[in-house]
Structure 1
């Protein structure tokens, strides 16, 4: 775990779930007297900032966890800046995250979207105020962090899965698979597209994260072209979920039975055989 200095800034709350939670208005700065921590290079702009009720408090948009610069503006996509989180993305992440949690899917628990009262001058001449998304998780370790974790750290998380083992599986990756495919069924049943199902967006506590690219009937995409292609994107989330199951099996050194996994998908209404194509 890598530690960074940060400064505390004045702030304005834009969204909140519970006003009793502590706010962490931190921005990465070598001159700061606060400390934030990053698990691995996969976390880019997300940091551990505190603890609350035995959960980890995470803040997103606090600056880059690599390079000597906290923010880098490439000018490719307007004000999009490496290390920063734009307001529209933070609001969508927060709003869809709350909606998806209400479906009964295990996710991070949203706390705040805050705007820091500090201006950042971009290379296009625009001034922006940093936006932070604050939430809590059972574990800060994401599935993709496996190469950076000690074996005992992964085992400690995986041992907690046994309470989720409703089908009596003898391999841990199948316990995870059952929950992940169940999540996917709930998402698609309610016509919710996550649109970023990867090992980076599930924790080792099997919490689904990162909803800034998600959409639902209640919160559709603003762009008409994006809305037009939503229906075509649902099927690929089946395979993306399969990839995570495969990744988990490899991380745990468990042999995977693909027929068993395919059967699990089918039990939740995802028949992979309908997507099969034959080589000629």
Structure 2
């Protein structure tokens, strides 16, 4: 865990969940008197800020870069989209879709605020923008992809909690996780929601689904006609992406994965992988 200095900046609230949490309008600054924590390089623009009274960890996203001497970097390839910062529309989509998906019974991060900081940032393309922050809380601040930056003790403590959600009495932890992840995918697809970024960086070790800035739903569709045209074809790949996370978890936990068991779980939830099986021509 790495300490990062930050300053407290004036702000206005763009979106708010009705939970009345403390606001943390922090922006990375080497001379600042506030402290944020970077858990790993995987969290490039996301920081651990502290904990709520209920024990949940507070995360803020868009506060600057955590892994260089520079607070933010704009390479020009994505216009105003800048390494370390968060675009306003992306933050609002993340917040809105996250709230929607959480309401369906999928365990996610709990959204708190979208903030606009009263600080002008001059980009390399000459444009001036104000930083946007997404603030939320989670049960576990570490993501599945952070395994290399965690101790075995930390991982063990997290997966022991899975026993309380083990409805099918699995003895292997990866199967407990698989059941949750595949169930989540079933709920998403039944509601015609495309997450569009399912991988090991967007699940925590508490099996919380994160990061909805690329997601879409019937209530919150893509605005681009081109994106809307491709949505339907993107759903099946999320089956494979979920499988990859299950493999990753099994490997981290040194469990020998039984692919027949995993395939049967997918089939149980209506994802028959045989429908996508490519066969040799005789």
**What's the TM-score bracket when you normalise by the shorter of the two chains?**
over 0.9
1:19 deviates by 5.5
Shift of 1:18: 2.5
Q: Separation in 1 of the partners of 2:257 and 2:82?
A: 40
Shift of 1:66: 1.1
State how far apart, in whole Å, the 1-side matches of 2:78 and 2:144 are: 29
Number of residue pairs aligned between Structure 1 and Structure 2: 280
Q: Which residue pairs with 2:23 in the alignment? A: 23
CA–CA distance in structure 2, aligned partners of residues 208 and 151 of structure 1: 22
Tell me, what secondary structure is at the counterpart of 2:235? helix
SS of the equivalent of 1:225 reads helix
- Give the corresponding residue for 2:231: 230
The DSSP-based 3-state class of the residue aligned with 2:248 is helix
- Per the TM alignment, residue 50 of structure 1 is displaced from its structure 2 partner at its CA by 1.5
Three-state SS of the structure 2 residue aligned to 1:118 is coil
Tell me the distance in 2 between the aligned counterparts of 1:154 and 1:133. 26
Tell me the secondary structure at the aligned position of residue 70 of structure 1. Answer: coil
2:42 alignment partner in structure 1: 42
Q: Distance in 1 between matches of 2:110 and 2:145?
A: 20
Counterpart for residue 143 of structure 1? 144
Query: Displacement, 1:10?
Result: 0.2
Alignment of 1:146-157 (within 5 A): 146-157=147-158
CA distance in 1, matches of 2:162, 2:20: 30
Paired position in structure 1 for 2:263: 262
Over the aligned positions, Cα root-mean-square deviation in angstroms equals 0.6
Aligned to 1:201: 202
CA distance in 1, matches of 2:114, 2:280: 50
User: 2:18 aligns to what SS in structure 1?
Assistant: coil
The secondary structure found in structure 2 opposite 1:242 is helix
Q: 1:114 matched to which residue of 2?
A: 115
Instruction: Write the distance in 2 (CA, Å) between the matches of 1:39 and 1:171.
Output: 27
1:185 aligns with 2:197: no
Structure 1 unaligned blocks of 5 or more: none
Determine the C-alpha separation between the residues in 2 that align with 1:55 and 1:109.
9
Deviation at 1:62? 0.3
SS of the counterpart of 2:133? strand
Distance in 2 of aligned mates of 1:243 and 1:94 = 26
Residue by residue over 1:117-166, the C-alpha shift from the partner in whole angstroms, topping out at 9 and shown as x without a partner, is: 00000011111000000000001010000011000000000000001110
Where 1:100 maps in the other structure, the secondary structure is helix
Question: What do residues 48-67 of structure 1 show as CA deviations (whole Å, max 9, x unaligned)?
Answer: 01110100000000000011
- C-alpha displacement of 1:78: 1.2
Q: Distance in 2 between matches of 1:279 and 1:226?
A: 34
2:106 is the alignment partner of 1:105: yes
CA separation in 1, counterparts of 2:187 and 2:174? 20
Q: Secondary structure at the residue paired with 2:265?
A: helix
**Alpha-carbon distance in 2 for matches of 1:279, 1:201:** 35
